[in-house]
Amino acid sequence: MTQLKPPAARRDDNFQIDQLGRTRTDPYHWLKDENWQAVMRDPSILRQDVRDYLEAENEYTKENVEAPLESLQKTLLDEMRGRIKEDDSSVPSIDGPYAYYSRYREGGEYPVFARRDRSDPFNEEAPETILFDGELESGNSSYFDIGGLGHSPDHRWLAYAVDRQGSEFYTLKVRNIESGEELPFKVDKTTGGFVWSEASDAIFWVERNENGRSCAVHKRGLYEETDTLIYKEEDEGFFVGAGKSQSGDIIFITANDHTTSEWHWLDAKSSDTEPKLIAARERGHEYSVAHHDDAFYILTNYDHAVDFKITKSPIGNTDPSKWEDVIPHAAGTLILDIISLEEHLIRLERSQGLPRIVIRERRNGSEHTIHFDEAAYALGISGGYEFKTRTLRFSYSSPTTPGQVFDYDIDSGDRSLRKTQKIPSGHEIDSYICERIISIASDGAEIPITLLRHRDTPVNGSAPLLLYGYGSYGITIPAGFSTSRLSLVDRGFIFAIAHIRGGTAKGYQWYLDGKLEKKTNTFTDFISAAETLVETNYTSAGNIVAMGGSAGGLLMGAVSNMAPELFGGFIAAVPFVDVLNTMSDESLPLTPPEWPEWGNPLNDHEAYDTIEAYSPYDQVSNRPYPRMLITGGLSDPRVTYWEPAKWAAKLRHEAPDAGPYFLRINMEAGHGGSTGRFEGLKETALEYAFALQCVGLADNTMKGPV
């Protein structure tokens, strides 16, 4: 096998950027194709010198990572695939006369969406009507993503939105369910989001503009060729969305950035297309709305409710000063979601890092909580299609317990187990141990860490450990079940998730303490977690592989600059590492909407200095970086391909004796990588094979702790 030399990207050391009285150089700025917006839609027009460089990087990675690990990657992939029930199906959800569900064929990459009569909803042998066959519809597309799919209220039509490029521009179409006939209805440049009119004769769809931002809601009749503009967002920093209430009576139009919300509503049964405002946007005020009879129930942080509260407002008078508290604010208990049913108000909340479901009776205000016993777990709630129901569907899993779906009888408290995730190759829950420990940050904050290990893996400092983190946008990585992780854990790895600041594991303040001028808390928390895992003998310095993607890739980049000696390797998937340049480029899809998360370095001197001080690309220097696997997608509108490419080039130039660094750009995909259940697994298998390689276990193709 030929060991190729690493590519050396040409440098333009004379390219300078003057901004707010500061000057910086960007020697690899040329990797950003000036026609990048068109490239997102048609990658074939990528400038040739950029293509040549990316393909050289891919070839280098192929020869030095993929080829040597091919056998191990295949073994891991076979294991991961062996844990998947290939002909799996979802639990049917009842709506009117039908039960709707999705299923996979044996070996299928994409789901089949279908329905059967509601009289026998859980009988898999009952006759069905196929609504949309993803496997068939994907055709020969190298990329295929189903953005949205939904039947009309009269159950006659199916609307669906697909993206065949990875650019997240979806095409929306409609077909007759019984005949399969396609209507002339076709809308391009959508986000994939849409809502049916209650009369089933029109669709409210969300437009994505040339900069890749959701910007407007339009209404189009099924047999019309023109649209009625319902709402147009003038602020480039706000995303637009559309949805329908659980009651089916209200269509909501939303506009929000990361810290501010504004909702409008329409009567779903009226022809009136003039949306009514619920509460005008006020910087820092976030809210969401559910409907019941003549009132809105509003989940809000209004009036200093940091962890949110639930209020009630008459539809006819939605002035926030008149909102009535239903569930008052409780510091440290973050209300995540609410579902409004005819006789119950249900909320999902998180306290001390663990979620819980609370059910409230409308008639008397009494409440009860659904209890769970494991040390760490993940929960989800679903309202389904029905409003007049006394059944709640929820999902449950833990790092050791495969996913389960329950229907919960609100009156009796009985749980009907509708589905348990089947592991065809077998899974012994008692073979694994899940633990929750606490790391103390440099400022005294207590950082939860969720751990999964095989019961035979010793806790004496000898075990390799994969430490996963994210820590942005208030997103918390759930302590749920993953079949893929078992391939590492079965080889003696400990899998750890650090619930660092920037997420909401310990409430909304946990998020606020990891953004803007406090962003470095996210990085130091992760380092503290790694140090604690060494101090408590779960692993040892240099035996930790760190992993994160997107904003979690930023975490990888920042930590690699701050404490490279702690780690044996980094896996940075679609990493957001060119932070200062990206947050200074108003043309990029996510830049204006993300200034509330990171700061605006175009007009804020402090934001500029804060970002520059941690931006991974800007802070690369001659440090003892360990091995790195860096991935990206050519069509990615969220983290553009040139971010990981520039970072890899600079790492190789500034620290040539460290690393090595391997860049892999998927030339046929976007932010989420390959589509399809098994194609995506190939990427996971490669990442885990690389993790094993980082700690010297790439030859360990046998299961069992080492």
Read off the pLDDT of each residue in 77-88 and give the average, rounded to a whole number.
95
Beta bridge partners of residue 95, listed in sequence order? 98
Per the prediction, the chain carries an average pLDDT of 95
Q: Cα separation of 648 and 632, whole Å?
A: 11
CB 585 within 8 A of CB 29: no
Judged against a pLDDT cut of 50, whether residue 609 lies above it is answered with yes
pLDDT at 673 over 80: no
Segment 24-59, tens digit of pLDDT: 999 999 999 999 989 988 899 999 999 999 999 999
Catalytic residue numbers, as ranges: 550, 636, 671
Which two structure tokens, joined as six digits, stand for 289?
């709305």
pTM: 0.90
Instruction: Give percent above pLDDT 90 in the chain.
Output: 90
The Cα–Cα gap between 643 and 620 comes to: 13
pLDDT for residue 669 is more than 60: yes
Tokens linked to 410:
């609100």
pLDDT of residue 142: 84
Tens digit of pLDDT for each residue in 252-283? 999 999 899 999 999 998 888 999 999 999 99
CA neighbor of 499 nearest in space, from 470, 535, 521: 470
At 274 the three-state DSSP class reads coil
- Nearest-angstrom CA–CA distance, 534 and 541: 6
Residue count of the chain, please give it.
706
The model's confidence at residue 1, banded by pLDDT at 50, 70 and 90, is: very low
Q: Which band of pLDDT confidence, cut at 50, 70 and 90, is reported for residue 2?
A: low
**166 pLDDT higher than 60:** yes
Sign of CA dihedral 623, 628, 633, 637: negative
How confident is the model over 453-467, as pLDDT tens digits? 999 999 999 999 999
Both tokens of 422, joined, read 């089947």
Confidence of residue 196 (pLDDT cuts 50, 70, 90): very high
* pLDDT of the residue at 4: 80
Predicted pLDDT of residue 272: 87
Q: Does the pLDDT at position 510 exceed 60?
A: yes
pLDDT digits (tens, 9 = 90+) for 295-352: 999 999 999 999 999 999 999 999 999 999 999 999 999 999 999 999 999 999 998 8
From 234, 223, 229, 141, select the one nearest 182 (Cα to Cα). 223
Q: Which pLDDT value is given to residue 706?
A: 43
Bridge partner residues of 314 (DSSP) = 295
Residue of 624, 697, 698, 695 lying closest to 660 (CA atoms) = 624
Residue 705 pLDDT > 60, yes or no? Answer: no
CA-CA distance, 191 to 209, in Å (whole number)?
A: 9
pLDDT of residue 670: 63
- Using alpha carbons only, what angle is made at residue 198 by residues 195 and 204, rounded to the nearest 5 degrees? 30
State yes or no: pLDDT of 493 exceeds 80: yes
> If DSSP codes are grouped into helix, strand and coil, which group holds residue 315?
coil
What mean pLDDT comes out for the span 548-562? 98
**Radius of gyration for the alpha carbons in the chain, expressed in angstroms and rounded:** 25
Give yes or no for residue 167 having a pLDDT over 90: no
Q: How far are the Cα atoms of 94, 138, 481, 659 from residue 134, in angstroms, in the given order?
A: 22, 6, 26, 41
